[in-house]
Amino acid sequence: MTYQNIEALGQLLGCYFHQDWTDEFDSDEAAFQVIVDSEPKERLLAGVKEIDALLAASLPEDELRSLMAESAGCYFDPGSEGLTYEQWLKRARQKFAQA
């Protein structure tokens, strides 16, 4: 997997955490709930695999930030909740895997 090929995360995170996501959702938790309620199980599991690959690569925080914004189109800033991208991706992974 190339790290720029994060198609499932683009669908799961980019489509919901777009630049104006706060106009639609009160929190990332609300957005995650809509994602797991709306998206097919196969796409959620594909997202889990892509997150696993990103985390296994032990990428620096700035590279994860860049990948999320530029490759996945995800504009949520985990720092707003005192989290790193790694921590937030682990949270996303848990939510997708439990759905």
Q: Over 70: is that where the pLDDT of 39 sits?
A: yes
Tens digits of per-residue pLDDT, 44-99?
A: 999 999 999 999 999 999 999 999 999 999 999 999 999 999 999 999 999 999 98
Q: Over 90: is that where the pLDDT of 3 sits?
A: no
Q: What element of type H or E holds 89?
A: helix 85-98
Select from 12, 9, 11, 14 the least CA-distant residue to 51: 9
Give the percent of the chain with pLDDT over 70: 96
Using pLDDT thresholds of 50, 70 and 90, give the confidence band for residue 1. very low
Q: Give residue 2's pLDDT.
A: 45
Q: Decide: 76 and 17 in contact? Cβ < 8 Å.
A: yes
Domain boundaries, the chain: 7-98
